Amino acid sequence: MPPNESRYFRKNFLLGIATGASINLGMALLDPLTILPVFVSKLGGSAAMVGLVSALHGIGWFLPQILASRLAETRRYLINLYRTLTTVRAIALSGVVLCVFFIDSRELGLFLTVFVSSLFLAHLAGGLSAIPFLEITSKTIPVTIRGKFFGTRRLIGGIVGILAGVVVGMVLDEHSERVYMDWAIFDFVESVIRRAGLLGHEFPINYGILFLFGWFFMTLGGVIFGFASEEPAEKVETSARILDTFRSGMRLFRTDSNYRRFFWARTLWQFTAMAFPFYVGFAYQDLGLSDNLVGLFLSVWIGAGVFSNYFWGKLLDRKGNRIVFQLTAAGSIIPPVVVLVLDRFAQPAAGADSGWLLAIMCGTFFVNGFIRSGRIISNITYLLEFAPADKRPLYVGFMNTFSFPFMLTPLLGGVLLQMTGTTVLFGASLLFALANMVICLRLPEPREVVRPDEMMT
C-alpha cells in the first residue's frame, strides 16, 4: 500500500483511468497532428492554416494556466471548477461538429472562422481544467504511483484509440479495409459501422461523423471525473492579482536553475515537434500515398503510444524522469532524418497505398508516437515531483503559460513549409532535436535535488 495513501486514492485512480481512456479516444478522433491537418488541407486551407489548427491544442492548453493556478491556490476544493470548465469544453466542441454539418464548406472564410474559434475555445477550457485535474490528482495519488497512473490512462486510451484509427480509415474510405489484415475483428467493426450508416459519405460529412464521436467521448470523460473526490488544500492563498502571480513565477524562473533547464528542455522539444502536423501531408503530397491512409497512420501513431506507455511508466517509477527525457530526446532525431532522406532520394508512389514507402512512413509515425508518449508522461510528472507541494500550482501554471508562445511552432512550421519547402522545415526540426538532446543530458533528476529553504517560500 502506498505511503500516506489518501482515502480517495482508489476511487480517484479508477475515475482518472476511465477519464483518460475516454478523453484520449475522443482526442484520437480530433487528432491535431493527423486528422485535422488532412481535413483543413482538403478544405483548401494553406500550410500556415494547417499549422495554426494543429497548434490550437497546445495554445489552448498552456495559455490560461497561470490564471488557473491562481484560481487553484485560492480554493480549498477544485472539483466544481473542473466540472464548469469541462461543460464549457463540451459546448465549444459542439460548435466544431455543427459547423461541419450546417455551414457550406465552399464558404471557406466563414467555415474556418467558426471551426477555428470553436476549436480554440474548447482547447482553452481544456487547458484551464488541467490545473484542477492535476491538483486533485496530486492530493490523492502518491508520487510513487503517478507514473503508473498516467501511463495506464494513456495505455487504455491508446488501445481503444487503435480501434478508432481503424474506424477512421473506414469512415473516410469504405474500401480501406484492404489496408488492414484479414482479421475477424476488422470485419466485425466494418459491419457495425456500416449498419449504423456511417460509411459512404462524401467530404466533409465523413469527417463530421468523426468529430461527432470525438465530442461524445471527450464529454463523457469530463462527466466521469466530475464524480471524483478530493482532499482539502492544506494551505489556501489570499486573492491576488494575476500580475503578482506572474511576478512570483518570474522570480522562480530567475532563482531556480533547474526550473530553467526544464523550461528549455520543453521548449526545444516543442520546436522539434513543429513538423509533426506535416508528416501526413508529406506522405500523400510528396510521396503520392493516399490521403485516406490517415486512419492507418493514426492507428500506428496511437499504437506506438500503447506499446510505449507501460515501458515509460515503469522506467519513470523505477529510474526517475531524467532518463525518460534523455531517451525521448535521442529518439526525436530519427523521424526528421528519415523524411530528409526520402525527400532527397525517394520517387513518388503514384497513388500506391502499399510498399516500402508506406512501411517507412508508418515507421516514422511509430517512432514519433513512441517518444511523444514518453515525453507527455514525463512532462506532467516532472513538475508534480519537482515542485514544493504548497507552490505546485504556481510552478505548473507559470511553466505552462510561459511556454505558451512556443505552442505556435506548428504555425511556424506551416509558414516555413509554405515559403521554403520540405527540406528547410524538417532540417530545422532536426537541428532543434539535436539541441534538445544536449539540454536533456544536463537536466536534473527531481528525486536527487535537495531544495534550499528559500526556494520553498
Q: pLDDT tens-digit profile of 213-272? A: 999 999 999 999 988 877 776 666 665 566 666 777 778 778 777 788 888 888 898 898
Cβ neighbours for 284, distance < 8 A, ≥ 6 positions apart:
38, 290, 291, 293
Cα three-residue angle 395-399-403, rounded to 5 degrees = 175
Among 250-259, 284-293, 302-311, 352-361, name the one with the lowest average pLDDT. Answer: 352-361
Q: With bands split at pLDDT 50, 70 and 90, how would you rate the model's confidence at 450?
A: low
Tell which wins on pLDDT, 280 or 258: 280
- Mean pLDDT on 340-345: 88
**Three cell numbers, residue 311:** 515501458
Q: How many CA atoms lie within 13 A of 258 on its CB side?
A: 18
Cα–Cα distance, 96 to 26 (Å, whole number): 13
Residue 33's pLDDT is 82
The CA angle 138-68-378, to the nearest 5 degrees, is 45
What's the whole-number mean pLDDT along residues 172-200? Answer: 65
pLDDT band at 453 (very low <50, low <70, confident <90, very high): very low
Residue 208 and residue 101 in contact, taking contact as beta carbons nearer than 8 Å? yes
Residues 103 and 106: their CA atoms lie apart, in Å, by: 9
Q: How far apart are CA 385 and CA 258, in angstroms?
A: 13
pLDDT tens-digit map of 388-407: 766 776 777 677 777 777 87
The answer to whether residues 157 and 91 touch, using CB atoms and an 8 Å cutoff, is no
pLDDT of residue 455: 43
Rounded to 10 degrees, the C-alpha dihedral 379/382/387/389 comes to: 100
pLDDT of residue 182: 55
pLDDT of residue 141: 78
Domain ranges, ordered by start, for the chain: 9-229+240-456
Enter the C-alpha cell of residue 412: 511556424
pTM: 0.74
Q: What is the mean pLDDT of residues 296-319?
A: 80
State residue 366's pLDDT score. Answer: 92
Name the more confident of 278 and 190. 278
Which band of pLDDT confidence, cut at 50, 70 and 90, is reported for residue 1?
A: very low
Location of C-alpha cell 492579482: 241
According to the model, what pLDDT value does residue 374 have? Answer: 85
- pLDDT confidence of 75, banded at 50, 70, 90? low
C-alpha to C-alpha distance for 80 and 346, rounded to whole angstroms:
55
Residue whose C-alpha is closest to residue 234's, from 7, 76, 457, 456: 76
Cell of 142: 502518491
What pLDDT score was predicted for residue 185?
A: 62
CA distance 147 to 312: 8
CA distances for 16 relative to 29, 153, 157, 234, 309, angstroms: 20, 7, 11, 22, 16
- pLDDT of 11-57, one tens digit each? 888 888 888 888 888 888 888 888 888 888 888 888 888 888 888 88
pLDDT for 241 equals 62
CB 364 within 8 A of CB 407: no
Q: To the nearest whole percent, how much of the chain has pLDDT over 90?
A: 17
Q: Which of 40-49, 179-188, 252-261, 426-435 has the highest mean pLDDT?
A: 426-435
- What is d(CA 28, CA 303) in angstroms, rounded to the nearest whole number? 11
Q: Is the pLDDT of residue 353 over 60?
A: no
Task: State the Cα–Cα distance between residues 401 and 249, nearest whole angstrom.
Answer: 10
> Would you list the DSSP string of 4-46?
T--TTHHHHHHHHHHHHHHHHHHHHHT-TTTHHHHHHHHHT--
* CATH superfamily name and code, 9-229+240-456: MFS general substrate transporter like domains (1.20.1250.20)
Res 44: pLDDT? 84
Closest CA relative to residue 16, chosen from 91, 93, 76, 82 = 82
Q: Cis bond leading into 232, ω under 30°? A: no
Q: For 125-178, how does the pLDDT look when each residue is reduced to its tens digit (9 = 90+)?
A: 888 888 788 778 877 777 677 767 877 776 787 777 777 777 787 787 655 544
The C-alpha cell at 91 is 459546448
Helices 294-319, 35-43: crossing angle, 10 deg rounding:
150
**Among residues 1, 445, 429, 15, which one has the least CA distance to residue 230?**
15
Residue 139 CA to residue 373 CA, distance in Å, equals: 24
* Range from 68-72, 335-339, 450-454 that averages highest in pLDDT: 335-339
Q: What local confidence, expressed as pLDDT, does residue 74 receive?
A: 65
d(CA 142, CA 122): 30
The cell for 190 is 466494418
Q: What is the mean pLDDT of the chain?
A: 80
Q: What is the mean pLDDT of residues 82-98?
A: 92
